[in-house]
């Protein structure tokens, strides 16, 4: 599966669980770690865990290898590594604290609505 298709899959899974403020960053040329970052948050540990499990479930159903899933136990910041796409699911308090969008401010954003409407 192409990186853009993985991005679409992750965004749709995140949206399915009503995540808040979904942000997608095009990391090509900015980071060697991944082509895309997806950042979102939930308002509770339960929602954070639900979002992360949905991303993992949809990835597995699509035949993707989930390289790493970290932070699910505390559900405050869960990282899901889909190789070309890294998904960050935060609890709203941690999202404000870590502010990855500012940290990676030189990465262009991708319109989430275009992904969801396609």
pTM: 0.94
How confident is the model at residue 73, as a pLDDT?
A: 94
CATH class as words, domain 3-117? alpha beta
How confident is the model at residue 108, as a pLDDT?
A: 94
Domain boundaries, the chain: 3-117
Please choose, from the candidates 27, 54, 52, the residue with its C-alpha nearest in 3D space to the C-alpha of residue 41: 52
- Per-residue pLDDT tens listing for the chain (118 residues): 999 999 999 999 999 999 999 999 999 988 888 999 999 999 999 999 999 999 999 999 999 999 999 999 999 999 999 999 999 999 999 999 999 999 998 899 999 998 999 7
60-64: long-range pairs with CB below 8 Å, 24+: 62/1, 62/9, 63/1, 64/1, 64/6, 64/9
DSSP state of 70: E
């Amino acid at each position: 599966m192409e990186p853009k298709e993985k991005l679409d899959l992750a965004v749709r899974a995140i949206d399915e669980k009503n995540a808040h403020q979904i942000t997608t960053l095009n990391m090509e040329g900015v980071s060697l770690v991944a082509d895309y970052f997806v950042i979102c948050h939930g308002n509770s540990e339960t929602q954070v865990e639900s979002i992360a499990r949905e991303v993992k479930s949809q990835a597995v159903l699509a035949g993707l290898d989930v390289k790493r899933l970290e932070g699910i136990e505390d559900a405050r910041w869960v990282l899901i590594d889909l190789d070309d796409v890294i998904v960050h699911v935060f609890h709203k308090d941690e999202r404000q604290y870590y502010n990855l969008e500012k940290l990676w401010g030189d990465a262009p954003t991708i319109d989430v609505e275009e992904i969801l409407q396609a």
